[in-house]
Amino acid sequence: MIKLFSSIAFALFSVSAWAAGLSAFSTTPGSQPPAPWQVVGLPERYAKPISQFELVDLDGAHVLRVKADKSWGSLVHPVNEAVKPSSILRWKWRLDQPLSKTDIHAKATEDSALKVCLSFDMSADKIPDGERALFKFAQLLSKEKIPTATLCYIWGGKEAIGYEQASLFTARVRFIVLANEGTPLKTWQSKERNIYADFLKAFGQEAGTVPALSAILIGADADNTQGSSMGYVGDVQLSTPAQ
């Protein structure tokens, strides 16, 4: 559990909350993602390589390249944003090199070649009784605040598009599969999700209401399958249209 949350927790601890719009990749010169995006891996005690995040030119745009090689890592953007019924997350992504063994039905293969995740500031009191003691124990062992609810949109394997499942490592993370092994490679896919509705579907029985959004993450991990992958993500946009 601590391993799964350490990158998010570290980023929330080390970077101040960001209330403005998300920093864009497309308008940032050079190869380094703009602040406050921050690359975060696992603590040194896990001895895991960190997935690579680099800005590159592709198809006439400046985008983020995400590479995993037996590694684990996230690019994290802290936010401090109230979530409303009209709150929308938009991005585009493409996968050029998939993970052949990824399968979220087993711990040994719970990896993803691409994922876009949302971390929410849900009260720990909302965690079900059976999990709360373990969560609090993990929090005692961590130097940083561990997020209580994280929703990840993933590029899966054999899972059907739209399939939803809690992580087998911790129910504090929920997955929604938006692309799979049948999704065309080397082809841009545009995505749009209603954050409010997705949170309630994933965590509504626990929370009842939708808490504030505390971080957005882009990730790739291949440490369980010991594989490698490469994909790209364009600008991630967060908006709340007037109703």
pTM attached to this predicted model:
0.90
- What are 121-127's contacts with CB under 8 Å, separation 24+? 121/147, 121/148, 121/211, 121/212, 121/213, 121/214, 122/148, 122/149, 122/203, 122/206, 122/207, 122/211, 123/148, 123/207, 123/211, 124/148, 126/206, 126/207, 126/208, 127/172, 127/206
* Domain 2-239 belongs in CATH node 3.40.50.620: no
pLDDT values of the chain reduced to their tens digit, one per residue, 243 residues: 444 555 455 444 444 444 457 999 999 999 999 999 999 887 676 778 999 999 999 999 999 999 999 999 999 999 999 999 999 999 999 999 999 899 999 999 999 999 999 999 888 777 777 677 677 666 666 656 677 899 999 999 999 999 999 999 888 899 999 999 999 999 999 999 999 999 999 999 888 899 999 999 999 999 999 999 999 999 999 998 876
